[in-house]
Amino acid sequence: MARSAVPLTESRIRQIRAPDKPTKLADGGGMYLLLRPDGSRYWRLDYRFDGKRKTLALGVYPEISLGEARRRRRAAKALLATGQDPGAVRKADKANKPGTGADEQAYALAMLGEGMWDWDLRSGRVRHNAQWAQLMGLDERQQEHDWQQAVAALHEQDREAVMTAIRHCLDGTAAFECEHRIRHADGATIWVRNRGEVMRRDADGTPLRMVGSLREVTEQRHEARVMRCHNLLLQTIAAVNEMLMQELPDQELMARICQELVRDNLFRMAWIGLIDDDGVTVRPVAEAGSVRGYLAQADIRCDDSPQGRGPTGKAIRSGITVINDDTETNRQFVPWRERARAQGYRSSASAPLRVNGRVIGALNVYSDEAHAFEPEKRILLEKLAADLGVAMGNRAALAALRESEERFRLISSVATDLLYSSLQTGTGFYAFDWATASADRIFGYTLDEILEQGCWRSYVHPDDLPEFDRNITHLAPGQRSECELRIIARDGATRTIRAYSMEVKSDDGQHRLYGACQDITERRQAEARIAYLAHHDVLTGLPNRVLLRDRFEQALAVAQRARSHMAVLFLDLDNFKVVNDSLGHAAGDELLLAAVSRLSHCMRDSDTISRQGGDEFVLLLNDIPDLDTVKRVATDILSHLAEPLEINGHVLNASCSIGVAIYPGDGSDFDSLLQKADTAMYNAKGAGRNSYRFFDEQMNQQAQEHLMLQHRLHQALYRAELQVHYQPQLEIGSGKVIGVEALLRWQNAELGEVAPDRFIPVAESCGLIVPIGAWVLEQACRQAQAWRQAGLADLAVSVNLSAMQFHRFSLVEMVAGVLGRSGLPPHLLELELTESILLQDVEGTLDTVRQLKRLGVRLSIDDFGTGYSSLSYLKRFAVDRLKIDQSFMRGVNTDPDNAAIVRAIIQLARSLRLDIIAEGVETPAQLAFLREEGCREAQGYLFSRPLPPAAMEAFLRERIAPAGAMNGAAL
C-alpha cells in the first residue's frame, strides 16, 4: 500500500484524486487518511498496545474533518498514556462509556466530557481525569492537583477574566462557562471551553464543591478566526477601492489605507515608506497601529547594509514581496527582534510600491501571530500596493484602474484553472488573444492550439451551447456572468467547468471579454458520490434512514388518501457481535450481505428495506390488508434467515428479532413508529430472540422508565446520589461480626430511594455498571480500612462483581490499584461472583481468577444453587465460600424442598472444605435451622438492615468487644 509522508492540510485533502490502489496520507502520531479507489476516505490511527500493533478507526472524511480527527487522535493518545487500549475502550462501550485505568472515580466522571474536574474548595485540591491534566499541561499520572497549579496554567491575559467568572458562579449569580487559553510548559497555547457549576453548599450557602468539564476548541477558534479574517479582507478591499475612486491626495490616501489595514485587528501595525532623495533611506510617510515615535527611531534602508537587510529593504531591492514568518526564529531579523517584542508582533510582510514600473517604496504590515501571512493576505497586500502605485502615478488612468479592479475581483473570487482575454471578431464570437498555459488541463489541447483555434466555443458540449451564448457570446458591455458548462476534451472525456466572464468596451469601441474558468469535474463527481452516500448505506447499497424517511412520507400520503395501513418492522440480527469478534469484520460484512439477499426474497418490490447501521434494518411495508399479512412476512423472514449459511468455511445459523409498529394504530409519523418498532424489537430480544413482537403501550412505559433511569444514573455519580451501605455478616456460634457486605443504594431528589432491583438491571444494560461497580469497590475498601484504623477488629468486606465488570474490564489491575490506594490487606477483600460469570469463557475466566487469587483476595459464589451449579468449577476456580440464596431461606421452615436444598449446599461446602454463609435470614426459626444443620455464618434483617457507614460503625462498636467479653454471647 502506498503511503505519503507530506503533512496534511484540508486543501491538500480536497485536491487529491482517488488513487489506483489504497493509499495512506500520514499526518503524524500514527494517524493517516486511507484513500480507496472508489473515492471513499477513512481516518485511521496505528498504535501499539501490550506489544501488539493495532489500528483504530477515527471516522469517515469529510464527515470527520482534519481538526476533529486530530482531536480524536489526542483523546486516544491520552488513553494510551494512562495504560488503556483505545480500541478496547471503543469496543467495550459504543456510547462513550469509560475505559479502564487506575482511578475508577475519574473514569466514571469522564463519561460526561473529555476533561473533567472536581474542585474541593475546602482543601483546594482538584480531582480530575487524565484528559483534563493533558489539556492543562499538567502531569497526567497524578489524579489530583492543587488549585493554584491549575490557575498558574491559565494564560496570563485570560486569568483575571476566568477567575471573575468562577467567582460569579460561586456567588450564585451565574453559571460558569467561558473560553480561554491554556499555556503549557513548552510555551504552546491552546484554547479551551471551560464549564462548571457548584454541586454542594453548606447550610449557610457557602460553596464546598465545584464540578466541571474542559474541552479543547483550538481548531474551532482557528476556523472562526480564518472566516473573520476572510470577511475583513473583503471589507478592506471594498474600503480601499472606494478611497482610490475618491482621488484623495497621496498623503491622505496612504494614511487612510494604513488605518484601514489595522481596523478590527486585521493587522497589528501598517506603514508605508518611500525611498528618500538619497536613494538609500526609507522614510515612513504614513502609519497606523504603532507606538508613537517607533518608526521615527527606526533606521530603515534599502541598500545591502545591515539596516537594509530587513523585509522592507529586501522588498525594495528585489521588487518582490518579502515575508518574515516568525521574528523569533528568523536569524536575519535579529537586529529588530527586541523592537518586535516591544511592539508585540511575530510576523511581517513588505510589498514593493511601484509607480510607472519603478519601485519607490514599500507597503508594510505586521501581525501578532507567527505564520500569519497565508496566500490570501499576501494577495491583498500586493494588490493594495499595486493599486496605490497606479493611483499615485497617474490619476488619469482611473478607468484602467477600475478595469484592473474588476479583473482582480473576477480572478480572486475563484480558484482558477484558466485565465484568458479575448476580442470580439467580425463573426460576433470572441477569439483568444491571451490565455494562461494551464489551458491544456481543461481542454487537453496546447495553448498554441487553443490560440490558433480562436474561440473556445467549439470545445463546448453541444447541449450547453445555448448556455454559452447567453452568458458569453451575447454578454453586454459592463455585464458579468457566471455559468456551468461541459467541455469535450481532446481525449473525448467530458469535464465540467464554471466560467466567469466580464465584457468591457474600450474607448476605441472594441469589445473585450475577460474570463476565468475553474475545473469543477471532481467536485461534481464528489457531490454525486456524497449525494448517493447521503441516502444509501455504503456496504449494502440499501436506503439509509434519510431516504427511508422520504419513502415513508410518500407511502404515508398514499395511505392517507386510500385509508390503508402500513407496517414498520425494526429488525436486529441476533448475536451478530459474536460473528464480528470471532471471525472478523469481513465475515460480518458477508453475513450482512447474505441477510439482505434473503430479506429481499421476503419483500415485495413496492416495499423498502433500509439499513440503519450495524446489524439493524428497518422494513417498510406499504398497503397491508391486515395484521395476518405482517405476521406472514415476519414469519417468512425468521424462516429464511434461520437457514444455514457458510462463510469462510464456517456454517452459521443466523436469526433475528423483529419489532412491528402499525400505521395508524401505533402512530402517524415516521419517528414515533420507528421508536415503537424499536421498542417492540427489544421486547422480542428479551423474550428469547428469534421471534417477533407487535408494539403495545406497556412496552412504551417500560422503555420510558428504562431511558429515564439510564439518564438519571448518568448523573448519579456526578451529583453524589449513590451511597454504599453495609450489612453485617455474623458467626452463628459466637454472634461475632466477621465481615460486612457492601450494597449499593441510590437516593434521588425526585425519585426518592430507588430500589436496587429497579436500577441495577438498567446499569448493566447500558454499561454504567462498570464505573459504578469500580466506585463501589473503591468506597468499600477505603471504608473497611478506615474502620481498621479507627481501632475496630479486622473485618472482611464483600463486594459484588457483575459479569460485565469481570469480562469487559481490566479487573485485576483495577482491584490491585484499589487495594494499593486504600491500604486494605488483600485477604480482607472478598469478591462475590455469580455462577454465570464462571461459565462464560471458562479459560479466560480461570486465568483472571488465578491472578486475583495471587493478589490474595477471597472469592465467593453468590446466590449458589440458582444457576448452573457444577462441582467441577468449584474445584477449578478455587473459590473460598458459598452463599446460600435468600430465595431458599424464605421457605426453609415450611417447604421440604427448600430445606433439602439448603441442607445439601451446607453438606457440599463442608465436604469441599469451603466456608458457607446464608443470606436473607429474617426469623429465629431460620437461624435455628441453620445452626442445627451446621451452617456457621449468616446475614439478614434478623441481625440488621444494610446501614450507612456511620450507623454501621456504631453497630460494630456495640458488637465487637475486647477479647473475653464475647464469651456466652452466641446467637
753 forms bridges with which residues in the sheet? 747
How does residue 113 score in pLDDT terms, banded at 50, 70 and 90? very low
Instruction: State CA 811 to chain mean position distance.
Output: 27
Q: How far apart are CA 770 and CA 91, in angstroms?
A: 14
How do residues 194-227 score in pLDDT, each as one tens digit? 988 888 888 778 888 888 889 888 888 877 777 7
Distance, first Cα to last Cα, the chain: 76
Q: List all residues 6 or more positions away from 580 whose beta carbon is below 8 Å from its beta carbon.
A: 587, 588
How do residues 184-199 score in pLDDT, each as one tens digit? 988 889 999 998 888 8
Which residue, among 875, 801, 864, has the nearest Cα to 831 in the 3D structure?
A: 801
How do residues 791-844 score in pLDDT, each as one tens digit? 888 899 999 988 777 776 578 888 999 999 999 999 999 999 876 666 566 666
Amino acid at 640: H
562: number of Cβ within 10 Å: 10
- Looking at per-residue pLDDT, the higher value among 711 and 656 belongs to 656
Core vs surface per residue 761-782: b (16+ CB within 10 A) or e: ebbbebbbbbbbbbbbbbbbbb
Q: Which three cell numbers stand for residue 5?
A: 509522508
3-state secondary structure of 302: coil
pLDDT of residue 965: 39
Beta strands in 23-128 (DSSP E): 23-28, 31-35, 41-49, 52-61, 115-120, 125-128
Angle at 44 between CA 39 and CA 48, to 5 degrees: 155
How do residues 74-94 score in pLDDT, each as one tens digit? 888 888 887 788 888 777 644
Q: How far apart are CA 62 and CA 55, in angstroms?
A: 20
Q: List all residues 6 or more positions away from 577 whose beta carbon is below 8 Å from its beta carbon.
A: 615
21: number of Cβ within 10 Å: 9
How do residues 916-953 score in pLDDT, each as one tens digit? 999 999 999 999 999 999 999 999 999 999 999 999 99
Helices (H), 727-810: 756-766, 769-789, 803-808
How does residue 95 score in pLDDT terms, banded at 50, 70 and 90? very low
How do residues 258-305 score in pLDDT, each as one tens digit? 988 888 888 888 999 999 988 899 999 999 987 666 777 778 889 888
How does residue 966 score in pLDDT terms, banded at 50, 70 and 90? very low
For 581, how many CA atoms within 13 A lie in the half-sphere containing its CB?
A: 8
Q: What is the rounded average pLDDT of the residues 319-337? A: 85
3-state secondary structure of 224: helix
Which residue, among 417, 435, 451, has the nearest Cα to 521 in the 3D structure?
A: 417
Q: How far apart are CA 853 and CA 755, in angstroms?
A: 32
Which residue, among 63, 77, 66, 75, has the nearest Cα to 7 in the 3D structure?
A: 66
- Cα Dmax for the chain: 127
Q: Which three cell numbers stand for residue 688?
A: 428469547
Cis peptide before 62 (omega within 30 of 0): yes
How does residue 778 score in pLDDT terms, banded at 50, 70 and 90? very high
Between 348-357, 711-720, 901-910, the lowest mean confidence (pLDDT) is in 711-720
Amino acid at 502: M
Residues 634/640, Cβ–Cβ less than 8 Å: no
Q: How far apart are CA 656 and CA 602, in angstroms?
A: 14
Q: List all residues 6 or more positions away from 125 whose beta carbon is below 8 Å from its beta carbon.
A: 119, 144, 145, 146, 147
Between 9-18, 323-332, 359-368, 810-819, the lowest mean confidence (pLDDT) is in 9-18
Q: Which three cell numbers stand for residue 965?
A: 467479653
Which residue, among 64, 42, 44, has the nearest Cα to 54 in the 3D structure?
A: 44
Helix 250-262 and helix 375-393: axis angle, to 10°? 170
Q: How far apart are CA 111 and CA 118, in angstroms?
A: 14
How do residues 493-516 score in pLDDT, each as one tens digit? 898 988 888 887 766 667 778 888
422 forms bridges with which residues in the sheet? 432, 513
How do residues 741-752 score in pLDDT, each as one tens digit? 999 999 988 888
Beta strands in 268-405 (DSSP E): 269-275, 282-288, 322-324, 347-355, 358-367
- Looking at per-residue pLDDT, the higher value among 228 and 826 belongs to 826
How do residues 673-713 score in pLDDT, each as one tens digit? 999 999 899 888 877 788 899 988 776 566 677 778 888 88
Q: How far apart are CA 869 and CA 865, in angstroms?
A: 6
Q: List all residues 6 or more positions away from 36 whose beta carbon is below 8 Å from its beta carbon.
A: 18, 19, 22, 42
Helices and strands, counts by H and E, the chain: 35, 37
Indicate if the pLDDT at residue 165 is higher than 80: yes
Residues 579/588, Cβ–Cβ less than 8 Å: yes
To which residue does cell 507567527 refer?
A: 370
Amino acid at 567: A
Core vs surface per residue 631-643: b (16+ CB within 10 A) or e: eebbeebbebbee
Cis peptide before 352 (omega within 30 of 0): no
Which residue, among 352, 341, 436, has the nearest Cα to 388 in the 3D structure?
A: 352
Indicate if the pLDDT at residue 417 is higher than 70: no
Which residue, among 691, 448, 664, 694, has the nearest Cα to 556 in the 3D structure?
A: 664
What number of residues does the chain have? 971
Q: How far apart are CA 946 and CA 243, in angstroms?
A: 83
